[in-house]
């Protein structure tokens, strides 16, 4: 299975090789002749010499007796199902990202992003279990290619093999398609709302103060600290405005670890405002009572200009 995966067969190439293996299996030739015939027929499968050589090596290194033709064919078919299961499990697990009522800076979105790797693996494992339950019941002709080869090599457990191969592929896929970081999502919100910004800069008066973003409006500016959670860092980047080179400070955060003391510490400072996830803001009364705390969906040019009195 791993050798087949490393060749990166296209769907057309997989089907073509499967067809050629089937012709070889049905022939009455001796094993050595069957292997030779298969080798000679693969040249028109690949679109490059390198891939043709890789397929040839795959056959030489893995087919040592007649039943191995079935093993190779099973591997090719399992990988086709693996790709389908991977895409379906990702679609199942990523559905929340396209639900219009969920903001990309909401806690619900962030929580689901953290669970995504686990969700994809669980969804895939369940889909594989369902697949082989269906195969055992022989409910769909789509499974016939798998059924034919499984019956020829009963000592192989394709369910376990597919679970292992799927888990590896899922891990790689999750790394390559994982959602944006919190800071990148804040950037997306700024862009979507047409808010001009500069990324990551230090205050020219106090070099220890770092802004994740700096917003500029006419002759005024705002420093932005974007943090999923505050933990012990909540006092950082909250110097008095008169000591900084900005006219205002925004803290953008999920709000899950905010309490009344933290909110009071930050908002008592002149020109300091907090923006939190919509779903957190609406469930905590001490946030809704505070005039300097806003839900993230209110972060707009209009509000900013109002706060800056432009």
pLDDT, tens only, 249-298: 999 999 999 999 999 999 999 999 999 999 999 999 999 999 999 999 99
pLDDT in the model for residue 241:
87
H helix or E strand, kind and range, residue 197: strand 197-202
| Cα 195 from Cα 216, distance rounded (Å) | 9
CA distance 39 to 45: 11
Q: What pLDDT, on the 0 to 100 scale, is given for residue 139? A: 66
The predicted structure's pLDDT at residue 176: 55
Confidence at residue 5, expressed as pLDDT on a 0 to 100 scale: 86
Q: pTM for this structure?
A: 0.67
More confident residue, 157 or 140: 157
Which three-class secondary structure state does DSSP give residue 168?
A: helix
State residue 235's pLDDT score: 67
Residue 306: pLDDT band by 50, 70, 90 thresholds? very high
Q: How high does pLDDT run on average in the chain?
A: 87
pLDDT band at 167 (very low <50, low <70, confident <90, very high): confident
**pLDDT of res. 47:** 72
**C-beta of residue 273 within 8 angstroms of C-beta of residue 246:** no
Sign of the four-CA dihedral 130, 133, 138, 143? positive
**In this predicted model, what pLDDT tens digit does every residue of 1-27 receive, in sequence order?**
888 888 888 888 889 999 999 999 999
Tens-place pLDDT, residues 33-88: 999 999 888 877 877 788 888 999 999 999 999 999 999 999 998 888 888 888 88
Using CA atoms, how far residue 265 sits from 31, 37, 68, 235, 262, in Å, is: 80, 79, 71, 8, 5
Confidence at residue 174, expressed as pLDDT on a 0 to 100 scale:
64
- pLDDT range class, residue 233, cuts 50, 70, 90: low
Q: Given this model, what pLDDT does residue 220 score?
A: 92
Dist. CA 166–CA 9, nearest whole Å = 16
- For residue 236, is pLDDT > 70? no
pLDDT category of residue 140 using cuts at 50, 70 and 90: confident
């Amino acid at each position: 299975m791993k050798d087949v995966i490393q060749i990166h067969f296209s769907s057309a190439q997989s089907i073509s090789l499967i067809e050629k293996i089937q012709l070889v299996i049905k022939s009455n030739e001796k094993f050595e002749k069957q292997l030779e015939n298969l080798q000679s027929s693969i040249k028109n499968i690949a679109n490059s010499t390198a891939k043709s050589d890789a397929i040839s090596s795959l056959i030489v290194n893995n087919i040592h007796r007649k039943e191995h033709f079935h093993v190779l064919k099973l591997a090719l078919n399992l990988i086709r199902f693996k790709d389908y299961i991977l895409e379906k499990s990702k679609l199942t697990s990523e559905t929340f990202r396209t639900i219009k009522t969920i903001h990309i800076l909401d806690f619900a979105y962030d929580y689901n992003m953290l669970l995504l790797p686990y969700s994809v693996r669980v969804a895939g494992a369940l889909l594989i279990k369902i697949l082989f339950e269906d195969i055992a019941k022989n409910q769909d002709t789509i499974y016939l290619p798998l059924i034919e080869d499984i019956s020829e090599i009963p000592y192989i457990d394709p369910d376990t093999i597919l679970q292992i191969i799927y888990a590896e592929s899922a891990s790689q896929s999750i790394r390559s398609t994982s959602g944006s970081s919190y800071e990148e999502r804040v950037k997306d919100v700024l862009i979507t709302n047409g808010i001009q910004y500069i990324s990551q800069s230090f205050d020219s008066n106090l070099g220890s103060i770092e802004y994740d973003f700096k917003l500029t409006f006419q002759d005024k500016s705002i420093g932005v600290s974007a943090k999923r959670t505050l933990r012990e860092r909540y006092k950082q980047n909250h110097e008095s405005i008169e000591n900084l080179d900005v006219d205002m400070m925004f803290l953008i955060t999920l709000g899950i670890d905010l309490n009344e003391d933290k909110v009071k510490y930050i908002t008592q400072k002149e020109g300091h405002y907090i923006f939190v996830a919509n779903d957190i803001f609406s469930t905590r009364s001490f946030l809704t009572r505070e005039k300097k705390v806003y839900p993230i969906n209110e972060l707009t040019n209009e509000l900013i200009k109002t706060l800056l009195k432009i």
